[in-house]
Amino acid sequence: MNWHARLIAPAQELDSAPLLRREFRLEEGHGALTRATLTLTAQGVVEAWLNGRPVSEDLLTPGWSAYEWRLRYASYDVTDLVDETSVLGIALGRGWFGGRLGWTGGEAWYGDGLGAFAQLELEFADGTTQLVVTDEKWSAGPSEILANDLYDGETIDARRRDDSWKRPGFAGDGWAGVRTVEFDDSRLTPYIGPAVTRWAALAVQEITTSPSGATLVDFGQNLVGWIKVRVQGPAGTEVVIRHAEVLEHGELGVRPLRSAKATDRYILSGGVDEFEPTFTFHGFRYAEITGWPGELRAEDLTAVAIGSELTRIGEFHTSDPLLNQFHENVVWGMRGNFVDVPTDCPQRDERLGWTGDIAAFAPTAAFLYDVDAFLSDWLVDLDLEQKHNDGIVGFVIPDVLKYMPHPADFGKPDSTAIWSDAAVWVPWDLYQAYGDTAVMERQFESMASHVRRVKSLLSPSGVWDGNFQFGDWLDPDAPPEDPAKAKADKGVVATACAYWSAKIVSDTAGVLGRSAEQAEFAAHAEALREAFDREYVNGGIVKSDCTTVYALAIVFGLLSGADEAVAGDRLAELAAEAGYRISTGFAGTPFIADALTRTGHTDVAYRLLLEKECPSWLYPVTMGATTVWERWDSMLPDGTINPGEMTSFNHYALGAVADWMHRVVGGLSALEPGYARVLVAPQPGGGLTEAATSLETPHGRVSVRWSIDGEGVFTVEAELPEGVDGILRLPSGEERPIGAGRVTASAELPAAVGVR
């Protein structure tokens, strides 16, 4: 694309978020206007209007990317918004480029060059094109947005509102010129992924008074976004809204926010005011309202949930209400953390694209929503960061941590298992889910580079045990102040992951027809398997003898048949010794249920899944959770918040078990990438009497529904789209081929499957 625009900013310091405008007339003599296209981006975030009408409902444009090398732009058809005389107006916020990022208190890590960039192309009937671009001809002025930050919130003074700046003939009192900002337009690239939008609105469920006398509002659901307000009161009145995810002792539980203020302030005009703080977002269920004039009514407040625009494709439901609520918590946790990048949490002074979280969760995400474009966009940034970091895949993408003081307890920055393995696991998971090799073709060099980097870090014994590892992060037995102090040996975890990544890259090379790389990585994977067996396995017992090491060794296929049987029995034994409470952290949790199922202990997997005592997947549900927590005990049974400095009530990683639920409980999995062939194989258990699962695959909708009647008869019904076939496997192990259309089968259940 030929760029004529410049990045612009106000020529003089303003006391508010800048407004930028340009008035223009359509050129005459070219016939009718046939098309108008606006291309828009910023160092910061922008919203734009043409003649007072918004050009889009998109939010936080252009989002967060690896700004050093890649700045995305959005393009809009604005033909219907253009008049003979028009005004293009832009509001500029700090966003990720200029606002706070990370827990060190720093801001504007990418530089101080906040600015907007717009190019409007007007096409006429005779083929002529007129350009209106950001340049020195624009003017800038103050806005009603006195402060804006993603972590801290937004302050809006309604007394300063005057929308006449968006329309022709504006006098421009208090406005001045603009300056151009140094800018490399070769970084400009179109979005691959979707924009951020509003996706839900929630009404107030309850208004209460806390023990201290504060007014508290409960929306009934932990969400990510903001509160839209309608209020009238004396001019100059300040209404303050502070957000949090939970209550503690009846008061707003703000300690988990750490330094994030998560507070919006509204100064009233004296008339009826509406406020919507679109240059920030919060993770919250509750809000504390102070300064409200008169009686606060439920209809005065609406919670607006925002996130990247994603299409729901997977559904899951069972006969167990608690399990259904847990699954709904997984969905809400994902939506709240998929705000342009896949973040760890949406509320505290962090909200970073931690690679370990999405490495664990990608299969679940790819089933629940179509995330192909969303994660493909993020993977482009991963590749860029990696290329500029000697092949190292950082802890977060985009890697803003490289600008911050490196935490001493994180060791020297280098590749680390699970987190850096996202470079391999995520594209492979996307291929498995959607059957499109394009993502692997784009990412192959990144995938290979990661595995080669890890190979350079191996010890002389052939295992990966020499540099910093998160290991089985947030093992429930680790002390609150030391989440890395896990039972699982870090070398065992890292070497298992190194093997799995090498095997995936070999398989990827095979799919892409890259025979030399296929052989290279197959040999490397085999060497890692041999080293793992030699250094860590003794008769099926894996070093550190805990649930996570067995889960990884079994699911990744590191053990011989005899050793795998021993390991499976030991895993089931350890689960029983723990009272069927969870004993795994980030490394083991995504895989433990599959490891048990693979080794004939599906009944134990069900007991883990349905356990309600802490730590367990259902314990937070019994405590009223509406999203997945960061820690198994983010809230203690007595209602107090975990004493650790780091805890969040919206962290999707530990919800990765939903992938097993879809495949094993629901009975729907892929026999070929993209569900070109499917396996219908429900494995009932845990006293469940029914389950229903469906998925909009690239080939059409696949659905599975099963039930158990009072006589113990199991009935399964499946429906496949045209062009898709597969296998139906009953709980007894009996199999038969199935084709497109609807199929039903019934059978007596094995006696081991109980019904409650």
- List active site positions: 350, 630
Give the whole-angstrom CA distance, residue 292 versus residue 564: 64
Instruction: Retrieve residue 604's tokens.
Output: 């134990």
Query: DSSP readout, 536-553?
Result: HEETTEETT-SHHHHHHH
Following DSSP, what letter does each residue of 297-338 receive, concatenated? -GGGEEEEEEEE---B-EEEEES-HHHHHHHHHHHHHHHHHE
- Closest by Cα among 612, 39, 246 to 48: 39
**DSSP label at 204?**
-
Q: Which helix or strand (DSSP H or E) is residue 209 part of?
A: strand 206-209
What CA–CA distances, in Å, run from 318 to 132, 446, 602, 705?
56, 40, 17, 10
Where b means 16+ CB within 10 Å and e means fewer, 184-219 reads ebebbbebbbbbbebbeebebeebeeeeeeeebbeb
Radius of gyration over alpha carbons of the chain, in Å? 27
CA distance 141 to 91: 10
> Dihedral, CA atoms, 152, 158, 160, 163, nearest 10 degrees?
110
3-state secondary structure of 713: strand
The first and second tokens of residue 752, run together, are: 């081991």
CA distance 233 to 643: 40
Q: Which residues contact 666 (CB under 8 A, 6 or more apart)?
A: 316, 682, 691, 692, 693, 704
Distance CA 39, CA 118 (A): 6
Residue 548 near residue 493, CB atoms below 8 Å = yes
- Secondary structure class of 457 (helix, strand, coil): helix
| Contacts of 582 by beta carbon, 8 Å cutoff, 6+ apart | 476, 589, 608, 611, 615, 616, 617, 632
H or E segment and range at residue 575: helix 561-577
3 state SS for 15-84:
CCCCEEEEEEECCCCCCCEEEEEEEEEEECEEEEEECCEECCCCECECCCCCCCCCEEEEEEECHHHCCC
Distance of CA 510 to the CA centre of its chain: 30
CB atoms inside a 10 Å sphere around CB 619: 21
CA dihedral 584, 462, 453, 543 (to 10 degrees): 10
Nearest to residue 316, comparing CAs of 659, 655, 676?
Answer: 659
Phi-psi region of 588 (alpha: psi -120 to 50; beta: other; left: phi over 0): alpha
Length of the chain equals 756
Distance from chain centroid for Cα 709: 39
H, E, C per residue of 344-397? CCCCCCCCCCEHHHHHHHHHHHHHHECCHHHHHHHHHHHHHHHHCCCCCCCCEC
What would the two tokens of residue 118 be? 């717009």
